[in-house]
Amino acid sequence: MRFFLSGSIKRNKHLFYITVFLLIFEGIFWVFNWFYYKAVFGLSFSRLTEFFFGLPEYPEKIELSSLFQEIHIFFFVNFFAYFVLAAVLNLFHNPIKRFLIISTFILLTLEVLSNFLIYFTGSLVFIKLLFFYMYQLSFFLMLIFTFHGLISEEEKTDFNFLRTLIIIFAIFGILFTFLNFFLFKEKIGFSTQSIKEYYLGNPDKFLRPKSFEGLLKVFYPHILSISIFYFTLSHFFLFIPLKFKIFIMLSLIVLPIIETSSGFFISFFHENFIYLKLFSFYVSSLLTVITSFILIKENLFCSFNRFK
């Protein structure tokens, strides 16, 4: 329930130094987040407008699949950096930590959602920049308060707020699943023909088949990120009193791996593995959303009972 920390940090010298180095890496991530954002999206109004709509002399709106892909990476990496930091901050007493943790997640989510507002309205570019700056500031404040708590405060884990952290993770799970759903739709497509063309190519459309190296470049980073996400989701689901939860937890881990690796089977064994890819994608997405809603429902119910 403490995500990855157990025992007292202050009483365990090795754990204390490990946590200090973790926070240092979180700080390095915060710094390089500026560089990454500048390289991909831009840190000025003109550069961000160019990202979405191209140069004024060569106007070209970004493809929706490309936009989904960039958001997909940014949202996942930033959320887990934020979530680890939130779990550590929750170990210390701070009067505004609840507000800070919740508001940081909201700002990150609004930054992600602002992309679609800009894309479909063709304006309001400044909103994305505003939410990014506010998110970075809020993340930095979390980092400062966590360092302060680690150095000068006694540990006092807010066990009640752990339920809020689980709800935040569940909300992220729902949002990220929908993001993946539309990324799949725009990049590959849901028809068997579109999936076949994506992996096996189509000479009439000048589409080349996927090479082993190309498939590996996609599979390699996803195998770790999938494991981290679904391990965490299953870990939280472990505390829910529900029949068949072991089967659901195993399905949450196995099906996404099957879906991610099915491209190899389509390309090098038989095109009928397309149906395995579609089945594993639909079922894993549905299970993720259902599991996330169950986590929200159960934790909200326990919170309401506590206040009665």
- What is the tens place of the pLDDT at every residue in 101-140? 999 999 999 999 999 999 999 888 999 999 999 999 999 9
| Residue 12 and residue 140 in one domain | yes
Alpha-carbon distance 234 to 202, whole Å? 39
| Residue 38 and residue 148 in one domain | yes
| Residue 223 and residue 81 in one domain | no
Task: Give how many domains the chain has, as a whole number.
Answer: 2
User: With contact defined as beta carbons under 8 Å apart, do 277 and 263 qualify?
Assistant: yes
Helix axes 13-40, 64-89, angle to 10 degrees: 160
**Is residue 265 one of the residues assigned to a domain?**
yes
Burial class (CB in 10 A: 0-12, 13-18, 19+), 172: buried
Nearest to 64 by CA among 175, 184, 172: 184
| Chain-centre distance for alpha carbon 115 | 16
Among 25-29, 186-190, 211-215, which range has the highest average pLDDT?
Answer: 25-29
| Residue 56 and residue 100 in one domain | yes
**Is residue 153 one of the residues assigned to a domain?**
yes
**Domain limits at 221?**
191-308
* End position of a domain, from candidates 142, 159, 176: 159
User: With contact defined as beta carbons under 8 Å apart, do 142 and 85 qualify?
Assistant: yes
| Residue 197 and residue 154 in one domain | no
| Residue 5 and residue 146 in one domain | yes
- What's the Rg (C-alpha) of the chain? 21
**Is residue 263 one of the residues assigned to a domain?**
yes
**pLDDT single digits (tens) 61-89:** 899 989 999 999 999 999 999 999 998 89
| Residue 130 and residue 260 in one domain | no
**Is residue 75 one of the residues assigned to a domain?**
yes
